[in-house]
Amino acid sequence: NAGVTQTPKFRILKIGQSMTLQCTQDMNHNYMYWYRQDPGMGLKLIYYSVGAGITDKGEVPNGYNVSRSTTEDFPLRLELAAPSQTSVYFCASSKGNIEQFFGPGTRLTVL
């Protein structure tokens, strides 16, 4: 039981490049989330999903896209990377209002 896994762990992008952050959970959780954590700040919700095929925006969705074709996977797509997207990205999953299980994070730098 691996929990929530994220790849890659680190990535450096040039301005204008695109990439997909991968997130997979093996706990059969319906709910999945993407957060970003800027230095010295709390986590802010980018997108979330309540089940396969259903996604919705969070607090800071601009510049990102998501899809949820399976229960296990919830990839986050960055189009046209900008320096403001430099952050640590966390994926999480839950069964509802119990604890959210977080992945180890992806540290992204956009130069």
Partner 1 sequence: AQKVTQAQTEISVVEKEDVTLDCVYETRDTTYYLFWYKQPPSGELVFLIRRNSFDEQNEISGRYSWNFQKSTSSFNFTITASQVVDSAVYFCALSRGFGNEKLTFGTGTRLTIIP
Q: Does residue number 104 form part of the binding site for partner 1 (CB under 8 A)? A: yes
The CA distance from 44 to 23, in Å, is 17
Q: Does residue number 105 form part of the binding site for partner 1 (CB under 8 A)? A: yes
For residue 8, is the peptide bond before it cis, meaning its omega torsion is within 30 degrees of 0? yes
Q: Does residue number 101 form part of the binding site for partner 1 (CB under 8 A)? A: yes
- Dihedral pair phi/psi, residue 33, rounded to 5°: -140, 150
Residue 41: CB minimum distance to partner 1, A = 6
Residue with tokens 């980018």: 46
Q: Which of 58, 61, 63, 75 binds partner 1 (CB under 8 A)?
A: 58
Decide: 88 and 37 in contact? Cβ < 8 Å. yes
List contacts with partner 1 (CB under 8 A).
Answer: 31, 33, 35, 40-45, 48, 58, 88, 90, 92, 94, 96-102, 104-105
